[in-house]
Amino acid sequence: MQWRASHILVKDRALAEQLRQRLKQGASFEALAREFSTCPSKSKGGDLGWFGPGQMVAPFESAVRKLGLGSISDVVSTQFGYHVIKVTGKKD
């Protein structure tokens, strides 16, 4: 299985929750990623490209596995900070 996902990575859980709320209200994921994310992927609107099992840290991969295509995650905590994740592709 492979997934394609975008994310917004921030250092503060409260900010991650605020961004998730804005997304639920219709804000552009790509625009928020470009403005707020601390990950280099911000220049691509948060797009991380395709990845397979074991390529991302466990909490991130676990969240992606549970999400449907186009879904946005709850806030996911990893050693890098707090992520809001959007699944943009899945293939076997």
| Structure confidence at residue 39 (pLDDT) | 98
| Structure confidence at residue 5 (pLDDT) | 98
Q: Residue 86: which of 37, 15, 11 has the closest Cα?
A: 37
Residues of the domain holding 46: 2-91
Q: How many domains does the chain have?
A: 1
| Structure confidence at residue 90 (pLDDT) | 96
Could you say which residues of the chain have pLDDT below 50? Answer: none
Residue at token pair 């074991």: 54
| Structure confidence at residue 42 (pLDDT) | 98
Query: What does the chain come to in residues?
Result: 92
CATH number at residue 67: 3.10.50.40
Q: Which residues of 11-32 are buried (b: 16+ CB within 10 A; e: fewer)?
A: eeeebbeebbebbeeeeebbeb
| Structure confidence at residue 63 (pLDDT) | 97
Single-letter code of the amino acid located at 52: G
